[in-house]
Structure 1
């Protein structure tokens, strides 16, 4: 009988119970899905590990945000880890920027199947199946030196020949400049390196192995478009590697550009937008799609699409055509056309340009500052308890800035007809 292949499931950036962005003014049933999206993705991750009978689950960084106390995140972690412990599936966890080692150490005792990797001095961990050595896992950083001769010494007592050498997997630890020993990356003789996509943007150890820079199983904003899930790694007896991205996200983010050239009417534009949506491939498990539309023109007339009211009405019509109460839900965000200065009276163009430049030069506004301003406005006194807090959390500084730019454009454009 052929030996069971090595199967590892790699996830990163779980960000349990972290809020999704750009999600204001949703239907209640859609909001219910959105509010637990990261928890749903993690529950699916655990179920996937069990269904695929994996030898281990690897979770590299940012499992939760330690700066915000979250009971749902802690409960989800514990329940998921206990389910895997019942199936004797080990879990290898590394800390991240959001969940440093100190935060993990403060959690109540976790199941015994958890291997928390945070120290380069920790010895390699062997992964076995009925006494057969499948893989060796070890923590690495940009400074790690795992030399070929060191590997030979490491496995000499266990491997009769080169083909018996176990599959070597490195789990990347967060870069800590204060403890770095080398000015540049050192060589790490690994077969596979697991890290989060955030860590991959920084320095990596030099290796001839495959680097899997993993996205989170649930995107939080329009900056995280496309399929989101976990990577299944399968290695057969001949050390042939197969990687498969398995989607897990209940909420999907996409950015689409719709050209206006040749568009004759609003209905014509809607038909083209529907056709663009039909070209999107279906993803398993997706429940809600957030679509960010950009209208683009080269020589076409604006036909009023530079106005907020026009694109708001267009978005409402598109939602009515696509949103399915008992099926796939849709939320559309349509950006107005960029201002065309040729439409502004020549005497006002310079002033409008200065206005737009001033908006670009403004100091960035943080969410805490925005929340403070909204609270000081005392509008909450006229609303039901909790309603204002919900609205304030949904306000995005970037959205406010975009609307301010649009208001300026609308005002200058209206002066043309006066």
Structure 2
């Protein structure tokens, strides 16, 4: 049997990128998540799967826009015409969404709930239940049915597992507990980075987000094709994304003019170009302030360079200027001049005048702490502190 497993479509969530405002690609990206849904259905029909599994957060909120609902209904109708059912659970983002607000979405769609947690298709049983609140702090696993005997068993769950960076604990569940439950395949959702966990007799997959929405989501971009037969369970990644976000390092060390910057930019952008998917590049530019030049000019150059590289757009340019190289000899010379100046009568008179102002502001009982007999030691300590800050560490001059 074959299944197509996807999660975290976030249909009504826009792409957060300056590239989407580019006239050449803005229109095509305004509905990127819906277009990715269409690609998902194309793959399901092409592969002839037995069912499509949606593991939560199909929508981004509890009040999905009408266009996103219409897109889902249209694509589910395509599945219905191909004889392919869809099975869905709700995640933390769309936990409270009323999918039937405008009438039933599709006869092809089954939503699994705690009251109706199992859907059977062919020789497989799909078990699952979605969120009934926007945050569920306890594992849902104890409420899942036991495996159906003599059938392939698939678990559909929206969970943070044992936790992941950048994700709060939602319906947490230990990986070992999932494996021990006895299902052949676990179709997970929630974490936007793809992960595959293999164990004897079971396969657990987090498919990742099908379409990243910002530079924080540089991984994912796919769904998972699952095959189950007497040889076991196999999972294969199917790319779906229209646009991929990428951090692109550009080192401008040694660049002396605009032509050199253009060459570095072009090479960096060409290195990330990839046929079949657009790239929104966040450039991480390093170099000295002189090598980087004016920030506005560099960003304009980057966008101009991208015009010549098919399929690559500049999201933003982030400058990371390097600190000037430390010149120990110059620091030593400056420290020597400071010591010579501190020994002149004029310097001592200025310091003594400032010292008198400070003493006048102090309570009478502690004014002697800054007596005239302390002047030489205070000047010496101040000069040596500045010399150390310059990095020389020398006190023998």
Measured against the shorter chain, the TM-score band is 0.5 to 0.7
Structure 1: distance between partners of 2:268 and 2:64: 41
Structure 2: distance between partners of 1:25 and 1:281: 17
Q: Choose which of 233, 237, 252 in structure 2 pairs with 1:245.
A: 237
Q: Choose which of 323, 330, 334 in structure 1 pairs with 2:317.
A: 334
The alignment's TM-score, normalised by the length of structure 2, stands at: 0.66
CA RMSD of aligned residues (A): 3.7
Task: Find the counterpart in structure 2 of residue 125 from structure 1.
Answer: 119
Relative to structure 1, the CA distance from residue 123 to residue 249 in structure 2 (aligned partners, 3 Å threshold; closer, same or farther) is closer
> Where does 1:275-286 land on structure 2 (aligned, <5 Å)?
275-280=267-272, 282-284=274-276, 286=277
- Name the SS for the 1:212 alignment partner: strand
The alignment's TM-score, normalised by the length of structure 1, stands at: 0.63
| Paired residues, number | 306
> Where does 1:204-283 land on structure 2 (aligned, <5 Å)?
209-226=202-219, 228-239=221-232, 241-280=233-272, 282-283=274-275
Q: Choose which of 277, 283, 296 in structure 2 pairs with 1:309.
A: 296
**Structure 1, residues 137-157: CA drift from partner, whole Å, max 9, x if none?**
111683424999x54xx41xx
Structure 2: distance between partners of 1:13 and 1:213: 10
Query: Structure 1 unaligned runs (5+)?
Result: 1-5, 160-165, 347-418
Relative to structure 1, the CA distance from residue 184 to residue 261 in structure 2 (aligned partners, 3 Å threshold; closer, same or farther) is closer
Task: Find the counterpart in structure 1 of residue 305 from structure 2.
Answer: 318
Q: How far is the alpha carbon of 1:254 from its aligned partner? A: 1.0
Q: How far is the alpha carbon of 1:259 from its aligned partner? A: 2.2
Relative to structure 1, the CA distance from residue 108 to residue 316 in structure 2 (aligned partners, 3 Å threshold; closer, same or farther) is same
Task: Find the counterpart in structure 1 of residue 182 from structure 2.
Answer: 189
1:92 counterpart = 2:87: yes
Structure 2: distance between partners of 1:93 and 1:273: 44
Higher relative contact order (CA 8 A, sep 6+): 1
> Where does 1:137-156 land on structure 2 (aligned, <5 Å)?
137-139=126-128, 142-145=139-142, 151=147, 154-155=148-149
Q: Choose which of 113, 117, 130 in structure 1 pairs with 2:108.
A: 113
Structure 1: distance between partners of 2:272 and 2:24: 23
Structure 2: distance between partners of 1:93 and 1:334: 40
Relative to structure 1, the CA distance from residue 283 to residue 66 in structure 2 (aligned partners, 3 Å threshold; closer, same or farther) is same
Relative to structure 1, the CA distance from residue 126 to residue 144 in structure 2 (aligned partners, 3 Å threshold; closer, same or farther) is same
Structure 1: distance between partners of 2:34 and 2:119: 29
Q: How far is the alpha carbon of 1:195 from its aligned partner? A: 1.4
